[in-house]
Chain A
Amino acid sequence: MIRCAPVIATLAVALTGCATSPPLADGLPLTAPRAIELDSTPYFPQDDYQCGPAALATLLVASGVDVAPGSLAPEVYLPERRGSLSLELVGAARRHGRLPYVLASTADEMVEELEAGRPVLVLQNLGVSKLPRWHFAVLIGYDADRNVAVLRSGRERRLEMKWQRFAGTWHRGGRFAMTTLRPDQIPDHAEPERFVAAAAGLEAAGQRSAAAVAYDAAIMRWPREPRAWLGRGNVAYADGDRAAAADAWSRAIMLDPADAAARNNLAELLLEAGCLDESRRQIERASALARGTALETAVSESRSRIDATSLVAARCQLEDRAWPD
């Protein structure tokens, strides 16, 4: 539960500003600039407790979405809690066609994102662990020589905070940091698993065209990442493009023969296309692989449906293809 507390914030920080983290200059990668400030980052002063919508709007507008905090409040704000949850900020970013990318729990990725020109939304605990004061702010820069973090925060357009103090509040806040990417943007530091998982979030949220763009970008960068192909197939299938789905899923299986999901989905498609023999072969492999996993139920449902199909009127519409073993 996240609430925003501008006044107490300062007091609580003064109270708890024990310098446990090193000065910024000590941890800064050698290649990083000594100072960055993304001046052009928009600023939305928060209304009471509305730091979630304000911080998210800051990121979305910076990434080219036309949106105001007022219209984000119904998407993230919890009136009874006077705050927002970070997961709901993630969800809301998807609704605006952006890919919410949750950063690793070290400051390095924050610095890299700033270098790429993207402000970073952070969750801070301005209080102490036992008496938390949750707050969302946007990191827009730093200065290693002066050892400060620069933020858009609450009612402050430009807030400078001693780096250790900032790092401490972020640490106590659980080290949550995210940026919102255009779906075709892959950060240099991105890891394939995390990026594809973020794209899968867009797919799950029904943002199919954004998800397709993200999967394509992932495939371009990591052509041998099976989950990217699984996702590409899922989006193609949902769009009614069976041929593309069959290709992508086959690719996913070739790259990862133990992928029960891709085999299950390919079996479903083959069943619909009237290719019963091949469908049976794939679903048998899938159900062996899914045994004991969270996919077991889904796969066994597919399997009973396929097993129950005895006579197929149409002949296989996807002949002349080589299916993965």
Chain B
Amino acid sequence: MRDRIDEFGSEATVVLVTFTDAESLAEYQSRHSLGFVALRDPDRHGYRAFGLGRGSVARVWGLRAAKRYLELIRRDGIGGVRRPTEDPRQLGGDFVIDGEGRLVWGFWGDGPDHRPAIGDLIAAVRNAAR
């Protein structure tokens, strides 16, 4: 998503949330020229509030994960596979909130690397900004 952040234009504030420590977040921000806000949720209250739990061991390390890693290697080479640095079982998600504070679009990942199609996310932002 970092590569396509410009496509959100000025229509939305994009916020990346992780539960990393403050030092790692500061280091990440200094390493990249971010076009979005990067924040921490160390106790994962926000994850829980949006219904994001932890995936099962089978889901994280099972056949599906192996298939996903093979896709990453095919696409990006061995560098496409990154070692898990935190909780590999934490599930992610993407949410669009409109100007009235309403959740207008949501994607709940069913595996740690399960992400929405970026085009779907951009379309949801454009709809919310209308």
- Does A pair with B? no
